[in-house]
Amino acid sequence: MKSLGLKMTFNNPPKCISYPGNYKITYLLKCNPNGTGIILEVVKKISSCEFVYEFLTKYSCLNYAYNGDSSSNENGNNGVIITPINNTSMSYQSLLFWIFFIFLTYLLSFTIYNYRKNPEDGLIKSLPHREFWSAYFSNSLYGFKITYYFIKSKISS
């Protein structure tokens, strides 16, 4: 799995002075394969003790997902947890694929159902909602004409 970068958080952060609790500092090292170095992109102050630093760097571009192992400094009490930043959102291509797949499944299943129910009608007449699909183009043109004349009347008045 290709990672979009690395997220670094401290395991045992120091106590926050101005607010009860601990500091929470997160470093997001986002992948920038065309970059030459490390660029500080954004600093977000969530609260008085919580900060998020976002960096663009080519050094965080991985071709695999990091296991999230933690490493400690020489004292052993402030470990750093490193986890990958993965793209979990659905892409447009996969969304279009699933819409097409659902439509094709609907079309095939109801065509088979209608054909088995009335085989004498033939395959073309077995298409589901045939009247809707045959009138779709003319209904769309009619809708465009109504919208066009509505907008034209609003602009002229």
Residues 134/124, Cβ–Cβ less than 8 Å? no
| Beta-sheet pairing, 80-84 with 70-71 | antiparallel
Query: Model confidence over 68-85: pLDDT tens digits?
Result: 444 443 444 456 676 766
Residue 64 makes CB contacts below 8 A (sequence gap 6+) with 1, 2, 3
pTM of structure: 0.41
Q: Kindly indicate the confidence band of residue 67, based on its pLDDT and cuts at 50, 70 and 90.
A: very low
CA distance 55 to 53: 7
* pLDDT score for 73: 39
Distance between first and last Cα of the chain: 57
Residue type present at position 142: Y
Tokens of 99: 């819409």
* pLDDT score for 63: 52
* pLDDT score for 24: 83
